[in-house]
Structure 1
Amino acid sequence: MSTKPHSSNNIAHARRTVQQLRIEASIERIKVQCSNKPVSKASADLMNYCSEHARNDPLLMGIPASDNPFKDKKPCTIL
């Protein structure tokens, strides 16, 4: 039994993993500070976005019955 195909598969997988990690490491990030320090730009931007869009968020405001496609059309009765 040869381990060559298995070994080359592991090497190819490792190379893809390293390539993905390099891509992720090169992404520019904004640091978020701890809660006991001043609010960072990233967390301030996130809080502002959430506040500005809260009225359009169905998880916060709910879905009007007239717009809810999952609302029961008629009650279910068991006989």
Structure 2
Amino acid sequence: MTSVCKTSSANGVPFFSPHQKMPVINIEDLTEKDKLKMEVEQLKKEVKMERQLVSKCSEEIKNYIEENSGEDPLVKGIPEDKNPFKEKGGCVIA
């Protein structure tokens, strides 16, 4: 029987192809050692992430939102003829 998950040779991390789902892990079934290993792996990933000041990021997000607000259907609405969720008919109770 072939394995569903392949391990990349670079770092031993499981590789899942796009059509495969990652296995579900019930945390309650893990030993304390396994839980700590998972936490260490997560912290190793997080420490590699580039950090930025919130003040800088929030300014960039604000500018992006302002630049694209004209095309945002939540801001300007959806034209009735292109709205897939508009009511097709009503119900009258007499």
DSSP-derived class of the 1:30 partner = coil
Tell me the TM-score normalised to structure 1 length.
Answer: 0.68
Measure, in 2, the Cα distance between the counterparts of 1:13 and 1:77.
58
Task: Please identify the structure whose Cα radius of gyration is greater.
Answer: 1
Question: Quick one: which amino acid aligns to residue 34 of structure 2?
Answer: A
The root-mean-square deviation of aligned C-alpha atoms, in Å, is 2.2
Gaps of 5+ in 1: 1-5, 33-39
Structure (1 or 2) with the greater helix fraction: 1
Measure, in 1, the Cα distance between the counterparts of 2:87 and 2:38.
48
Measure, in 1, the Cα distance between the counterparts of 2:32 and 2:93.
57
Gaps of 5+ in 2: 1-27
Answer with 47-56 or 13-22: which moved more: 13-22
Alignment partner, residue 51 of structure 1? 66
Alignment partner, residue 76 of structure 2? 61
Deviation, structure 1 residue 56:
1.5
Which is bigger in relative contact order (C-alpha 8 A, separation at least 6)?
1
Which consecutive aligned stretches of 4+ in structure 1 deviate over 6 angstroms post-superposition? none
Alignment partner, residue 17 of structure 1? 39
Measure, in 2, the Cα distance between the counterparts of 1:9 and 1:67.
53
Alignment partner, residue 3 of structure 1? none
Measure, in 1, the Cα distance between the counterparts of 2:52 and 2:31.
36
